[in-house]
Homo-oligomer: A and B are copies of this chain.
Amino acid sequence: MNDRVREILSWYDSDNPGTLTNLARLMNHGRIAGTGHFVILPVDQGFEHGPARSFAANPSGYDPRYHFDLAIAAGCNAYAAPLGFLEAGAAEFAGEIPLILKLNNSDSLTPGSDPCPALTGSVDDAIRLGCVAIGFTIYPGSTARNEMFGELRELTIESKRKGLAVVVWSYPRGSGVSKEGETAIDVVGYAAQIACQLGAHIVKVKPPTAHIEQAAAKKVYEKERIPIATLAERVRHVVQWAFNGRRIVIFSGGEAKETSAIFEEVRGIRDGGGFGSIIGRNSFQRPRKEALDFLGQVMDIYAGKK
């Protein structure tokens, strides 16, 4: 095992060897294995946004096996999905790619501005399906904070006892933050900090903008002249907030957009010391060949080849 992977594992030395093993599996799989970087395919949009918005653009994606195959062929580090999608391929593709079971999910049919996802799977589902980690979404800023954090607390301690890693999607949302604030640099960094404090091994946030949401934070940024002009600077800043870089922080790809814009963003993440990307719609909504080419290029950027 190369030194970078060992170094990253050393940050998690309170965890048992089972969890370390699964973190190592994530880092040692796929095209950029061993670099300490991550490119993960997540497909929970069928649940979260509905099938139409998710799969109509590339109908192959209606078939759960398509995403296993895509993630494997592309050489992703892992594939993350809700219970049903993993059950529909875990036996057929056993051992071919590390799996992350998303244990909570929202849908767009349920009203309410303060989101609180439903529990949709169990740690023992992750165990029986051979997963390396659980995934869990929290919405800091939602009035349902206590319910979400409390659920995560229980899933986290169970996962760590059973040797799994914990990946937290930390998305500020709800009545506590403005729409613009959801991606504000101070709020994204804060969300990363919260996920780390809750015991996450890997934190997923959105690429932050230069907007500053909280007045109290704004004063500090100005006083300390914290550089946040470029994405790389902002990523560096978020990574610093995630225990000074001693927790793995990865960034979501967001809505489908132009390929060159994504590559630019990925370079920013890489240059700022971000650990990787978790790219759903921009992967599986393209035709397979195009998606493989796209993901390959993203991985090459992280591997320092582009």
Contact partners of A19 in chain B: CB under 8 A = 130
When all copies of this chain in the complex are counted, the total is 5
Within 8 Å CB of A214, what residues of B? Answer: 50, 52, 108
Q: Is B197 a contact partner of A130 (Cβ separation < 8 A)?
A: no
Among B20, B51, B140, B154, the residue within 8 A (CB) of A107 is B140
Q: A21-B94, A107-B190 are in contact. Are A84 and B200 (CB under 8 A)?
A: yes
Query: Are B127 and A190 touching (Cβ within 8 A)?
Result: no
A20 in contact with B91 given A14-B129, A109-B141, A197-B85 (CB within 8 Å): yes
Whether, in the assembled complex, A150 has its beta carbon less than 8 Å from a beta carbon of chain B, the answer is yes
| Chain A 182-196 near chain B by CB (<8 Å), digits 1 or 0 | 000011011101101
Q: How far is the CB of A181 from chain B (nearest CB, A)?
A: 9
Residue of A55, A199, A246 most packed against chain B (CB within 10 A): A199
Query: Is A59 part of the contact surface with B, judged by Cβ < 8 Å?
Result: yes
Contact in complex: A52, B220 (CB < 8 Å): yes
For chain A, residues 217 to 256, give those with C-beta under 8 angstroms from any C-beta of chain B.
Answer: 217, 220-221, 223-224, 226, 240-241, 243-244, 246-247
List chain A positions with a Cβ less than 8 A from chain B: 1, 5, 9, 11-25, 27-28, 46-47, 49-53, 55-57, 59, 62-64, 66, 82-88, 90-92, 94-96, 105, 107-112, 116-122, 124-125, 127-131, 140-143, 145-150, 153-154, 156-157, 161-163, 172, 174-177, 186-187, 189-191, 193-194, 196-200, 214, 216-217, 220-221, 223-224, 226, 240-241, 243-244, 246-247
B128 touches A17 (CB 8 A): yes
Closest to A91 in B: B13
List of B residues within 8 angstroms of A247 by Cβ: 84, 88
Residues from chain B with a CB closer than 8 A to the CB of A82 are 197-198
* A29 to chain B: closest residue by CB: B95
CA distance A190 to B224 in the complex (A): 40
**Which residues of chain B are near A16, meaning CB under 8 Å?**
14, 16, 91, 128-130
Does B111 contact A143, Cβ atoms closer than 8 Å? yes
Of A124, A154, A172, A175, chain B has the most CB atoms within 10 Å of the CB of A124
A124: chain B residues at CB < 8 Å are 157
How many angstroms from the CA of A148 to the CA of B190 in the assembled complex? 24
Contact of A94 among B20, B92, B129, B197 (CB under 8 A): B20
**B-chain residues with CB within 8 Å of residue A226 when the two chains form the complex:** 52, 56
* Residue pair B109, A187 in contact (C-beta under 8 Å): yes
Residue of B nearest to A121 (CB): B153
A56 in contact with B154 given A17-B128, A214-B108, A244-B63 (CB within 8 Å): no
